[in-house]
Amino acid sequence: MQSDAGIEALLARQLPLDGEELSRLQAIATAVALVPQQSLFVSGDLARHVYLVVDGTLRVQKSLADGRRLVIAFVFGSDFLGLAQEDRYTYGVEAVTPAQLCRFRRQHLEPLLDACPRLRNRLRRTASSELQRAQDRMLLLGRKTADERLASFLLQLAERHERAEGPPHVVPLPMNRRDIADYLGLTTETVSRTFTQFRADGLIDFPDAHRAVLLNLELLRERSGDGLDLPA
């Protein structure tokens, strides 16, 4: 738990609400803080809450019976969690870094949605882009080579992180190699080898363990397999 000051500001910034809507939303919000590796919920839990990430990085994950794992998505500040869940969560969420979230009971949120078309629309658009990203990831997981997956991953992080820094683009990598591998359907060894290769080719550099510098966006894009087809 922490002060609600950050949450208020975040809500106001993220959501197209007027004063009354905002205060009604704040009234049903509570703060949640997680330490690294801590679980927010696991697959199968009753889906009683929706979350808004205030700060930090988390991973959404699913596993097969024998333990093979896939990281469905990394989520960052201002992302939502649990929007599409009906009865129970169908995935687990764990903190990658220390994280702060804002929790809403679905039970309280839903009537508010009915009354507030703008909020409803904001969440609908959020869900739409989540689905589109899921489809891009299917293409990556089903058809891209290891090189292409890593290149796509770095570019995606860069896009997500973009603060008007010209090249060279510095991207934080809060997650470890295992998380990256499980996100891309690879192994830690392949991720490590490919990063080494990229570095040898002058595409990237690692000033420290948790940051990558993208030295050549153009070449990275070529290696991502996406081509110039449709930037849709």
Partner DNA sequence: CGGACATTTGACGCCCGTCAACATGCGTGG
Partner DNA sequence: CCACGCATGTTGACGGGCGTCAAATGTCCG
d(Cα 165, Cα 162) in Å, to the nearest integer?
7
Indicate the residue among 17 and 173 with the shorter CB distance to DNA: 173
Distance CA 139, CA 63 (A): 20
Closest distance to DNA from the beta carbon of 147 (Å)? 6
Among 188, 215, 216, 222, binds DNA (CB under 7 A): 188
Give the residue with the Cβ less far from DNA, 85 or 194.
Answer: 194
Interacting residue with DNA among 58, 195, 220, 223 (CB under 7 A): 195
Q: Which span sits near a copy of itself by CB under 8 A: 13-21, 23-31, 136-144, 189-197?
A: 136-144
Using the contact rule CB under 8 A, the part of the chain among 26-34, 50-58, 100-108, 219-227 near a copy of itself is 219-227
Q: Token digits for 147?
A: 């090189």
Query: Which is it for the CA torsion 105, 78, 133, 145, positive or negative?
Result: negative
Given a copy of itself, DNA, none, residue 63, with its beta carbon under 5 to 8 Å by kind, binds a copy of itself
Report CA-CA distances (Å) from 109 to 5, 57, 81, 87, 229.
20, 24, 13, 15, 40
Stretch that binds a copy of itself, among 12-20, 29-37, 134-142, 196-204 (CB under 8 A): 134-142
Rounded to 5°, angle at Cα 60 from 11 and 4:
25
Distance CA 89, CA 14 (A): 24
Tokens for 204, please give them: 């990237």
Q: Select 111 or 172, whichever has its Cβ closest to a copy of itself.
A: 111
* CA gap 33, 29 in Å, rounded: 13
Per-residue burial over 197-221, b = 16 or more CB atoms within 10 Å of its CB, e = otherwise: ebeeeebbeeeeeeebebbbeebbe
Stretch that binds DNA, among 9-17, 130-138, 144-152, 216-224 (CB under 7 A): 144-152
Q: Which stretch binds a copy of itself (CB under 8 A): 48-56, 94-102, 128-136, 155-163?
A: 128-136
What's the start-to-end Cα distance of the chain, in Å? 40
Q: Quote the least distance from Cβ 182 to DNA, whole Å.
A: 10
Chain contacts with a copy of itself (rule: CB under 8 A): 43-44, 62-66, 68-70, 72, 84-86, 88-91, 114, 117, 124-125, 127-132, 134-139, 141-144, 184-185, 225-230, 232
Chain contacts with DNA (rule: CB under 7 A): 145-147, 176-178, 185-193, 195-196, 206, 208-209
